[in-house]
Amino acid sequence: MAALRDRDRRLRRVVRWLTLIAMAAGFSSTLIYSSGAHLAIRYVNPELGAWWDAHQFAMMEVSATSLGLLIAIRCASRLIEEARIRRRAKVSSLVLSAIIAVPLSSEIASIARIGWDGGSASMRNFLQARAGYGAGNILDKIVIGSVYFLKSTALAVLIGLALYAVVSIISMSFEKDDSTIEPSETSIP
């Protein structure tokens, strides 16, 4: 019993650390991409800056998708009471999420691009009026990048919840139901 609790505790710790890593990678890549700070990286180390510039948007997409899937796993695992089913579903969902995160991120990013341009001009004008032209443009890009990251994460949460539901149903179907009645031997009259 104590060994199972230790395994559950370690699994929760792994999921927590993966969530924190996805958050840090996502927020930093979003902030650097939106603000144009990749130019500073290019000045310090041109090779790293060129690599970062080529991959920063993909890192933002994958980290948003990964963060959404991990949030879904963390939230959905609290809805299952039985520890064995919860553990199996959590591990299976983590493995499936790792497999589908990269291909899913481009699809989620395509969906997340829909619907932002309608009111962005008024927000840009407001930010430019308050902070000045240069700072207002940078703030506008940061807001747009942050909303894009949050929309991608929210879409991934929905997909992750569906994935966890399917995995937990499959895990439940393999569990032996204790309430089944064993056929008893009866004497034939």
Per-residue pLDDT tens for 117-168? 555 566 666 666 677 777 777 777 777 788 888 999 999 999 999 999 999 9
* pLDDT exceeds cutoff 70 at 15: yes
Residue type, 142: I
pTM to 2 decimals? Answer: 0.79
Residues 6 or more apart from 133 whose CB is under 8 A from it? Answer: none
Sign, CA torsion 49/132/27/152: negative
Three-class secondary structure of residue 37 per DSSP: coil
Nearest to 12 by CA among 78, 68, 61, 100: 78
